[in-house]
Structure 1
Amino acid sequence: MPEKKTIERAERDKREGKAPTTQAGEFVREEIEHIREGRHGARSPEQAIAIGLSKARRAGVDLPVPKKGTVSEKTRRSAQHALEAGDKPAAKVSRKRSRATIGALQHESQAAASRPALARHAKAASKERTAAERSAAARKAARTKSPAERSHAARKAARTRAAHKAGK
């Protein structure tokens, strides 16, 4: 069950007109925090993200099922099932299954939520997209930012550029 503050953050993102993926990001962030706190582990950053996305769908975030051919059929079925579960949030959850899932995750390492592991994942994920796609995503993200957030992002970008220039 996601924490109340996570659901509130996702709802705020929805009110601000942000994309379902952005809303789901709050649940992924929560999952990464849980792994770092030692509540449980994960095999890989991808698994941690998948758990977060599933939680988001179950919490009612209108996150579409991955397109055919992009992921395995099993993953698509799982996502579809989580999306349907989000339509009826009062449905009873199997206690035995929940305990078994957490028990299995507790045997996994916390390394999946480390900074280097997440950085490796982000780099690999961005490599799969073209420069035009990355640029379009950045422009779209800028449109949903408030003036203060845009200013903060610009300052951060300038710092990053300066750091990269100094490193050359």
Structure 2
Amino acid sequence: MANDKWSQDVTEHSDALDLEAGVFTWNDPDAIAKSLKKSAEASDRNKGSDYQSAMSMLTFYINRAGKDLDEEQRQVLEDAKQSLRRQFGRE
């Protein structure tokens, strides 16, 4: 694996969550949050709570995508954080 692709590898092959294909490219923040919640709840490899695992994966992706993430998709993902908080009752 090349150094510049390590974050993609983590996202695609993480031990923490089995993600739906392309989840971070979706345009619906609620659907992204629902998918992450479902993945976290289905995983038996979480080190923290389901909420922590889902939020960590989302934050990891936003941070690692960095300057390559366009502003519109960055906003969708930031909105997904809010939706994830609501879905886990952590508003």
Q: TM-score, normalised by structure 2?
A: 0.36
The one of the two structures with greater contact order (alpha-carbon pairs below 8 A, sep at least 6) is 2
* TM-score (norm. length: structure 1): 0.23
Q: Name the larger-Rg structure.
A: 1
